[in-house]
Amino acid sequence: EDQVTQSPEALRLQEGESSSLNCSYTVSGLRGLFWYRQDPGKGPEFLFTLYSAGEEKEKERLKATLTKKESFLHITAPKPEDSATYLCAALTSGTYKYIFGTGTRLKVLA
Protein backbone atom coordinates (compact mmCIF):
# COMPACT_ATOMS: atom_id res chain seq x y z
CA GLU A 1 0.00 0.00 0.00
CA ASP A 2 1.27 3.48 -0.88
CA GLN A 3 2.20 5.41 2.23
CA VAL A 4 3.86 8.68 3.25
CA THR A 5 5.03 9.25 6.81
CA GLN A 6 6.27 12.54 8.18
CA SER A 7 8.32 13.08 11.32
CA PRO A 8 8.35 14.60 13.79
CA GLU A 9 4.65 15.38 14.20
CA ALA A 10 5.51 18.63 15.93
CA LEU A 11 8.72 20.60 16.35
CA ARG A 12 9.53 23.64 18.45
CA LEU A 13 12.67 25.60 17.58
CA GLN A 14 14.26 28.73 18.86
CA GLU A 15 14.75 31.44 16.28
CA GLY A 16 18.01 30.68 14.46
CA GLU A 17 18.06 27.01 15.48
CA SER A 18 18.38 24.99 12.26
CA SER A 19 16.68 21.60 11.88
CA SER A 20 15.28 19.11 9.37
CA LEU A 21 11.85 17.63 8.72
CA ASN A 22 11.56 14.10 7.37
CA CYS A 23 9.19 12.63 4.78
CA SER A 24 9.49 8.87 4.25
CA TYR A 25 7.61 7.30 1.37
CA THR A 26 6.71 3.82 0.24
CA VAL A 27 4.98 4.03 -3.09
CA SER A 28 4.65 2.00 -6.26
CA GLY A 29 6.93 4.21 -8.30
CA LEU A 30 7.57 7.87 -7.58
CA ARG A 31 6.77 10.46 -10.20
CA GLY A 32 7.36 13.44 -7.96
CA LEU A 33 7.72 14.50 -4.33
CA PHE A 34 6.05 17.76 -3.32
CA TRP A 35 6.46 20.00 -0.29
CA TYR A 36 3.80 22.43 0.85
CA ARG A 37 3.44 24.93 3.65
CA GLN A 38 0.03 25.23 5.30
CA ASP A 39 -0.90 28.04 7.67
CA PRO A 40 -3.85 27.54 10.07
CA GLY A 41 -7.20 27.82 8.30
CA LYS A 42 -5.63 28.15 4.84
CA GLY A 43 -4.91 25.95 1.86
CA PRO A 44 -1.48 24.41 1.26
CA GLU A 45 1.03 26.71 -0.44
CA PHE A 46 3.40 25.06 -2.90
CA LEU A 47 7.10 25.10 -2.00
CA PHE A 48 9.09 22.53 -3.99
CA THR A 49 8.87 19.62 -6.41
CA LEU A 50 11.59 16.97 -6.54
CA TYR A 51 11.66 14.31 -9.25
CA SER A 52 14.73 12.14 -8.78
CA ALA A 53 17.07 10.95 -6.06
CA GLY A 54 19.90 13.38 -5.45
CA GLU A 55 17.89 16.38 -6.52
CA GLU A 56 17.90 19.47 -4.29
CA LYS A 57 15.82 22.65 -4.36
CA GLU A 58 16.38 25.78 -2.31
CA LYS A 59 14.32 28.84 -1.46
CA GLU A 60 15.34 31.39 1.15
CA ARG A 61 15.84 29.47 4.41
CA LEU A 62 14.40 26.21 3.06
CA LYS A 63 16.18 23.42 1.22
CA ALA A 64 14.53 20.20 0.08
CA THR A 65 16.44 17.02 -0.76
CA LEU A 66 15.36 13.62 -2.09
CA THR A 67 16.66 10.07 -1.76
CA LYS A 68 15.10 6.83 -2.98
CA LYS A 69 13.21 6.38 0.29
CA GLU A 70 12.79 9.80 1.86
CA SER A 71 12.89 13.54 1.51
CA PHE A 72 14.14 16.15 3.92
CA LEU A 73 13.15 19.76 4.34
CA HIS A 74 16.05 21.59 5.93
CA ILE A 75 15.32 24.88 7.66
CA THR A 76 18.34 27.09 8.23
CA ALA A 77 18.20 29.82 10.86
CA PRO A 78 14.40 29.81 11.06
CA LYS A 79 12.34 32.86 11.95
CA PRO A 80 8.97 33.00 13.73
CA GLU A 81 7.24 33.58 10.39
CA ASP A 82 8.36 30.10 9.32
CA SER A 83 5.91 28.66 11.85
CA ALA A 84 3.38 26.53 9.94
CA THR A 85 2.51 22.94 9.11
CA TYR A 86 4.72 21.47 6.40
CA LEU A 87 3.13 18.77 4.24
CA CYS A 88 4.79 16.44 1.81
CA ALA A 89 3.05 14.45 -0.91
CA ALA A 90 4.22 11.69 -3.24
CA LEU A 91 2.79 11.35 -6.74
CA THR A 92 2.66 7.66 -7.60
CA SER A 93 3.43 6.14 -10.99
CA GLY A 94 0.82 3.42 -10.80
CA THR A 95 -2.31 5.35 -9.86
CA TYR A 96 -1.30 8.97 -10.57
CA LYS A 97 -2.44 9.85 -7.07
CA TYR A 98 -0.95 12.31 -4.64
CA ILE A 99 -0.39 10.57 -1.30
CA PHE A 100 -0.09 13.09 1.52
CA GLY A 101 1.60 12.80 4.88
CA THR A 102 -0.06 14.20 7.98
CA GLY A 103 2.46 17.02 8.22
CA THR A 104 4.95 18.44 10.70
CA ARG A 105 3.70 21.34 12.83
CA LEU A 106 6.62 23.73 13.22
CA LYS A 107 6.70 26.45 15.84
CA VAL A 108 9.61 28.90 15.86
CA LEU A 109 9.97 30.91 19.03
CA ALA A 110 11.42 34.43 19.04
Partner 1 sequence: DAMVIQNPRYQVTQFGKPVTLSCSQTLNHNVMYWYQQKSSQAPKLLFHYYDKDFNNEADTPDNFQSRRPNTSFCFLDIRSPGLGDAAMYLCATSKGQGKETQYFGPGTRLLVL
Write out the residues near partner 1 by the rule CB under 8 A: 4, 31-32, 34, 36, 41-46, 49, 51, 87, 89, 91, 96-98, 100-103, 105
In the complex with partner 1, the residue whose CB is nearer, 16 or 29, is: 29
What residues contact residue 6 under an 8 Å CB cut-off, 6+ apart? 21, 22, 23, 24, 86, 87, 88, 101, 102, 103, 104
Q: Minimum Å distance from CB 9 to partner 1? A: 8
The least CB distance from residue 74 to partner 1, in Å, is 20
88: part of which helix (H) or strand (E)?
A: strand 84-92
SS3 (DSSP) at 96: coil
Compare residues 17 and 45 and give the one whose CB is closer to partner 1: 45
CB of 49: closest distance to partner 1 in angstroms? 5
